[in-house]
Amino acid sequence: MNIWRRALWVVFIALVVPALVLPVQAQAPAPGGEQVPRFESGDCPMPVPPGMVAGTDLTCGWLIVPERYEDPQGNTLRLAVVIFHPTGTPEPDPIVFAQGGPGGSTIDYYTQVLPESPLREHFTLILFDQRGTLYSQPFLFCEEIFQEGIDLLPVDVTAEESEKRYYESAMACRERLTREGVNLSAYNSVENAHDVNALREALGYEKIHFYGVSYGTLLAQHLMREHPEALRSVILDAVVPLQGNFNLEAPFSQDRAFNEFFNACASDPECQQGYPDLEKRFFDLVERLEKQPVTIILKDDQSMQSYPALLDGDSMISLLFQTLYATELLPILPAMIRETEQGHYGLVERIFSILVFDRTMAYGMYHSVVCSEDGRADLNRYDYSRIRPELRKDVDVSNRAFLKLCQDWGVSPLGSEAEEPVSSDIPTLIFNGRFDPITPPEYGEMVAKYLRRVYSFTFPNTGHGAFSSNDCANQIMLEFVKDPDREPDASCLANQRMDFVTPREYISLPVISNLLNLDQRLLLPALILGTAAVFLLTLWVVYPLGWLIRRLRSIPAGVAPLSHYLATASGLMSGALLWLFLAGLVVALGVLVSNNNPLILLGMPDTARPIFLIPLLMLGVSLALVGFIPVAWRRWRWWTRGYFVLLAISALAALGVLAWWGMLFAGI
């Protein structure tokens, strides 16, 4: 199915917030007499993080570098740079960050992560978008690939047809970029490594700490080989070894991660009790969706357009594969499978919407880097017979398509020496994640074998990338960069474990995922609910106002039947309870959002259950209102009759919407 095949091209990208896309700009030769490389201060290319001031808390600018370092007088590239200044006494060596992909934006992701990091107290933190990525110029975005992925969303095509159409869109992108003057062979890991060293020199630092995640670890190894003199220390997070081919080895990594995930749940008594036979149920779901695909709705948050998409078995496998990347989502994955199994697709729609409509990924840079590094391989070396049949069924088609695309992408290969492991005595910290679906812990061990001063740690509760998603990893990294010559204290690892969310810990409310997706199907019921809530509120104005008018006019109060007062009290209580529930719901959602609690993707934590007792009270009061109206009917004037009928209809309509959304009996 096309969705998951498209998603595999962004396997190193975490769940990110879409950013503005900069247009490709043609490279210009360096003006005569100006030094290249050089740093130029400038406006920040991205939104400044909340609470920070450009020029005070951070500095932005451009690193001007040669397109090819072997031709320093030739065309130049502009690499976007963001520098976070330390809040306290600065350490002499800054930390330079590199995102994965290849093709992901360092600035886009880490400007969201680093403002609250304890690293900022004493370290200058430097972000730069690698050549070809989002905020650098040119940005090698492939609109052709992006649009082809959207066109294929509702279409059920074979693997061969999907790969064919991807190839055609990639070649169209290549032709356009070449026509615009982009030298695709200039986008490789060696040139990227030279850029890092050029950044260090242009900013006037003797040495740097270098942090790389995913592809950033591959870049770090090239940097260790090309410019060891530049490095005070290196942090490799989710390691990609130089030796090997991660694209062709991806099915092995995926199968291993699936085993780890299902075994983790099966060996956890609470997870096993909450989700018995999870592995079997998952693959039964895959089989069911393969035979009977369902149509889901994906929302482009940037254009606000909705698109129908086909969800089949391959898509479901891709969903689990992609979510294993995100450490924050790991605890809810069994629940996600359960919700999807029950026909609740809001979470599926949210995840795929982020992947499909991601405009931050530089596909042109991705193919140039990967094809220069791993574009040639002997497929006979890979035996996939031992992995799950669901994961290997289209592997041959995908592998041949990958090598064909690299052959025709036409970039210069780095050569066999680029695949040799790096031997070094630079202090190196390695982070591995137990559930990482694309860079397994064995990759970190492969690289560590050739490093003489290395500290390697595997986290039992992380996916792809431990830093910024795990407090223990953050603590270890901070201690390491303070003194790379001493082994960091990793005692916090003893307290790390995988805690899955069980059915007893959350209230299933698929409507909240639909709300996060800005699902247009919610508009009508939301309008009904809002109108009913406002009308019920009018009784709180009409009743006191009527009493006040009678008092001011000295109109003697008549003796109304008891049923009138009971109907009035029921109406007042119905409105009050509805508004109390809505206020409680908003507060609970706000707490989840502010705490980045992934439970919001499933519904509500069980601790919020008392809030959902309120609709049940409202149901009882509203039924009482309906019952009191006929009793008082003969004593009421026509406008009083009509008003109370509308009150009853409003209360029942609001309850109907809450029932439709699964909130009416959620407290039981």
pLDDT in tens, 33-57: 589 999 999 999 999 999 999 999 9
Q: Are 387 and 427 in contact (CB under 8 A)?
A: no
Residue 370 CA to residue 581 CA, distance in Å, equals 53
Residue 110 CA to residue 465 CA, distance in Å, equals 13
Instruction: Please give the single-letter amino acid code of residue 217.
Output: T
Q: Which pLDDT belongs to residue 556?
A: 57
Q: Are 611 and 509 in contact (CB under 8 A)?
A: no
- Please give the angle made by the CA atoms of 102, 105 and 107, to the nearest 5 degrees: 145
Q: Which pLDDT belongs to residue 518?
A: 82
Instruction: Please give the single-letter amino acid code of residue 218.
Output: L
Residue 108 CA to residue 641 CA, distance in Å, equals 60
Q: Are 37 and 203 in contact (CB under 8 A)?
A: no
pLDDT in tens, 242-290: 998 999 999 999 999 999 999 999 999 999 999 999 999 999 999 999 9
| Averaged pLDDT in 10-residue chunks for the chain of 668 residues | 38 34 36 79 95 95 98 96 96 97 97 95 97 98 97 94 97 98 98 98 98 98 98 98 93 98 98 97 98 95 93 96 96 96 93 92 98 92 95 95 97 91 98 98 98 98 96 97 97 96 95 87 94 93 66 58 86 96 96 91 94 96 94 87 94 97 91
**% helix / strand / coil in the chain, to the nearest 5?**
55, 10, 35
Q: Which pLDDT belongs to residue 596?
A: 86
Q: Are 212 and 235 in contact (CB under 8 A)?
A: yes
Rounded to 10°, the helix 346-356/333-341 angle is 110
Spans of all domains in the chain = 247-409, 506-660
Q: Omega of the bond prior to 276 within 30 degrees of 0, cis?
A: no
Q: Which pLDDT belongs to residue 559?
A: 55
pTM of the model: 0.90
CA-nearest of 189, 324, 305, 217 to 260 is 324
Residue 131 CA to residue 76 CA, distance in Å, equals 11
The set of residues, in sequence order, having a beta carbon less than 8 Å from that of 169 and lying 6+ positions away, is 142, 144, 145, 147, 148
Q: Are 347 and 34 in contact (CB under 8 A)?
A: no
CB-CB neighbours of 641 under 10 Å: 15
CA atoms within 13 A on the CB side of 129: 32
Report, in angstroms and rounded to the nearest whole number, the Rg of the chain calculated over CA atoms. 29
